[in-house]
Amino acid sequence: MNNKHLGDTGEEIVAKLLKENGFKILAQNFTCRCGEIDLIAQKNEVVAFVEVKTRINEYFPTSMVVTKTKQLKMIKTAKNFALKFSLFEHVLRFDVATVTFKGNNPEVTYIPNAFSL
């Protein structure tokens, strides 16, 4: 499985998990000049901007998955999305999901509010 396919598979797994938990997927792989966000999902007044990291093996702790630089890019991109779709009355939340494959079985770790503005 190449990295692109692995990443897409991880995003689909997390999107399915979000839908099962009552979220509506607003966008997948939203890109602007500021950066890219894997998944943007909404449940009631919460809009979650989700970074998905997919691995075959866990090389380092989950807490080290999203660097400060990536966080800042996600925040700028989220602000761009919120402005474009008039979402500033919503609660904007930054989540991180890791998908680790152990054989054919994916293990998902989902961290709501992984970081904030």
Quick check: 74 and 36 in contact, CB under 8 A?
A: no
pLDDT at 88: 85
Pairwise CA distance, residues 40 & 105, whole Å:
25
CATH number for the domain formed by residue range(s) 3-115: 3.40.1350.10
Pairwise CA distance, residues 37 & 18, whole Å:
15
Pairwise CA distance, residues 6 & 34, whole Å:
24
3-state helix, strand and coil shares in percent for the chain, rounded to the nearest 5: 30, 45, 25
pLDDT at 91: 95
Instruction: Give the pTM.
Output: 0.92
pLDDT tens for 81-99 read: 999 999 989 999 999 999 9
pLDDT tens for 14-69 read: 999 999 999 999 999 999 999 999 999 999 999 999 999 998 876 666 557 789 99
Residue in 96, 55, 49 with CA at minimum distance from that of residue 74: 49
